[in-house]
């Protein structure tokens, strides 16, 4: 009888403990659910950092429940990538409002975190999107560094961009822009970057960057050619300017500088042809076109074609060329008009 009584007591105690454990588990799960719901409310309020903290708290609470907490664990895993991605987007908006390197670095790090969390919890959409955004942000970082004249740092950042994506044509283009502004960098190095940008641009179908790269190369060569003309280094000028036309065969400015260089060599016929070609390509008005007419008049004068020279100088007598053209007509050519 005593044995039976003890057995009943043990059974009742066991049932009590089971009930107590079940009650504790129910309370713990309720707490995990409440924490998860708080995180959702913070998400709706755009308090993403706090939401992430609460999601992680809910995750820890749910993991302690074992099998009982599995549904909460799955829900948290679904929410954390989006919360981190929204936090990263906020960091980028802060950069847009205040474009400093430190703000940009914070945005880059936030997107890296979003990528890692998305990879860990199987959100393929964000895991694929975030790395591309990081590459774009790093390119933007190089632009800011270039604007701040941190050329070496900008070049290093662009190298990182290309390491991440070898088909990022804009990065090669920007390397050309940076290189031509750096001391100790050669013209050919800058042109090499522009060539690479055009090559990659063609491969990926980015026609805009192809055009930008070719125009940038042409403009730099025209600039170098102009400097050579001013220094009376006409052979060097012709080399630069003809290379410029290889990049942009419709550069009116290149033809104008060519005409100047040929006039400097007293190669009048080629000077006249270059000036006329530049004039044909020009979209400017009388003042803009005065320079073409002046070089054309100089070439005609050199060839002894007085009437053609007078007509060209008359058309050149506008803007900054007005007094020089009038002097040519009145005192050198003694034009009838």
Task: Provide the CA 109 distance to its chain's centre, in angstroms.
Answer: 18
State pLDDT tens for residues 179-234. 999 988 899 999 999 999 999 999 999 999 999 999 999 999 999 999 999 999 99
Residue 217 and residue 237 in contact, taking contact as beta carbons nearer than 8 Å: no
DSSP per-residue codes, 233-277: -HHHHHHHHHHHHHH-TT-HHHHHHHHHHHHHTT-HHHHHHHHHH
Which has the closest alpha carbon to 290: 323, 246, 254? 323
Residue 1 lies in a domain: no
Counted residue by residue, the chain has a size of 337
Residue 140 lies in a domain: yes
Which has the closest alpha carbon to 307: 336, 284, 278? 336
Phi and psi at residue 12, to the nearest 5°? -65, -40
- Based on the domain organization, do 153 and 174 belong to the same domain? no
Angle at 45 between CA 90 and CA 119, to 5 degrees: 55
Residue 3 lies in a domain: no
Residue 48 and residue 83 in contact, taking contact as beta carbons nearer than 8 Å: yes
Across the chain, mean pLDDT equals: 92
Q: Which of 111, 135, 165 is the last residue of a domain?
A: 165
- Give me the CATH number covering residue 292: 1.25.40.10
pLDDT at 2 over 60: no
State pLDDT tens for residues 63-81. 998 888 899 999 999 999 9
Residue 241 lies in a domain: yes
pLDDT of residue 260: 98
pLDDT of residue 27: 83
How many domains is the chain built from? Answer: 3
Residue 114 lies in a domain: yes
d(CA 98, CA 8): 74
Which has the closest alpha carbon to 288: 321, 323, 310? 321
The contacts of residue 108 (CB under 8 Å, 6+ apart) are: 134, 137, 138, 141
- Give me the CATH number covering residue 194: 1.25.40
Q: Which of 249, 284, 313 is the last residue of a domain?
A: 249
Residue 190 and residue 179 in contact, taking contact as beta carbons nearer than 8 Å: yes
Phi and psi at residue 317, to the nearest 5°? -85, 60
pLDDT of residue 337: 67
Residue 2 lies in a domain: no
d(CA 191, CA 176): 7
Residue 259 and residue 292 in contact, taking contact as beta carbons nearer than 8 Å: yes
State pLDDT tens for residues 15-34. 444 443 445 467 888 998 99
- Based on the domain organization, do 152 and 75 belong to the same domain? yes
pTM as predicted? 0.85
State pLDDT tens for residues 79-119. 999 999 999 999 999 999 999 999 999 999 999 999 999 99
Which has the closest alpha carbon to 65: 18, 21, 29? 29
d(CA 209, CA 217): 12
Residue 187 and residue 219 in contact, taking contact as beta carbons nearer than 8 Å: no
Residue 122 lies in a domain: yes
- Based on the domain organization, do 36 and 121 belong to the same domain? yes
Q: Which of 225, 249, 273 is the last residue of a domain?
A: 249
Angle at 10 between CA 8 and CA 11, to 5 degrees: 65
DSSP secondary-structure letter at 106?
A: H
State pLDDT tens for residues 257-277. 999 999 999 999 999 999 999
pLDDT at 177 over 80: yes
Residue with tokens 């199987």: 122
pLDDT of residue 69: 87
Domain extent at residue 320: 254-337
Residue 244 and residue 222 in contact, taking contact as beta carbons nearer than 8 Å: yes
Residue range 293-308: mean pLDDT, rounded = 97
- Based on the domain organization, do 304 and 275 belong to the same domain? yes
**Quick one: what percent of the chain has pLDDT higher than 70?**
92
d(CA 246, CA 217): 10
Instruction: Give the model's confidence band at 12: pLDDT under 50 very low, under 70 low, under 90 confident, else very high.
Output: very low
């Amino acid at each position: 009888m005593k044995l039976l009584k003890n057995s009943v007591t043990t059974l009742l105690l066991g049932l009590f403990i089971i009930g107590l454990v079940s009650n504790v588990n129910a309370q713990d799960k309720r707490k995990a659910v409440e924490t998860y719901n708080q995180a959702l409310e913070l998400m709706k309020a755009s308090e993403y950092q706090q939401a992430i903290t609460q999601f992680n708290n809910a995750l820890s609470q749910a993991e302690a429940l074992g099998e009982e907490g599995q549904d909460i664990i799955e829900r948290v895993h679904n929410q954390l990538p989006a919360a981190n991605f929204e936090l990263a987007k906020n960091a980028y908006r802060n950069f847009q409002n205040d474009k400093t390197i430190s703000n940009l670095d914070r945005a880059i790090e936030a997107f890296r975190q979003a990528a890692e969390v998305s990879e860990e919890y199987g959100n393929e959409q964000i895991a694929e999107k975030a790395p591309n955004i990081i590459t774009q942000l790093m390119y933007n970082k190089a632009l800011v560094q270039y604007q701040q004249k941190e050329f070496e740092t900008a070049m290093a950042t662009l190298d990182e961009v290309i390491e991440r994506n070898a088909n990022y044509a804009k990065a090669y283009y920007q390397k050309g822009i940076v290189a031509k502004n750096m001391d100790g960098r050669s013209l050919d190095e800058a042109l090499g970057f522009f060539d690479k940008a055009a090559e990659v641009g063609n491969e990926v179908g980015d026609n805009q960057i192809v055009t930008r790269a070719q125009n940038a190369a042409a403009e730099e060569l025209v600039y170098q050619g102009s400097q050579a003309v001013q220094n009376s280094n006409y052979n060097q000028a012709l080399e630069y300017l003809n290379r410029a036309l290889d990049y942009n065969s419709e550069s009116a400015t290149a033809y104008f500088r060519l005409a100047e260089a040929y006039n400097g060599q007293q190669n009048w016929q080629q000077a006249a042809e270059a000036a006329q070609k530049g004039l044909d390509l020009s979209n400017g008005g009388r003042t803009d076109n005065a320079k073409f007419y002046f070089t054309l008049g100089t070439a005609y004068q050199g060839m002894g074609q007085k009437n053609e020279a007078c007509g060209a100088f008359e058309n050149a007598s506008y803007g900054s060329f007005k007094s020089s053209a009038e002097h040519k007509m009145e005192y050198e050519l003694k034009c009838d008009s």
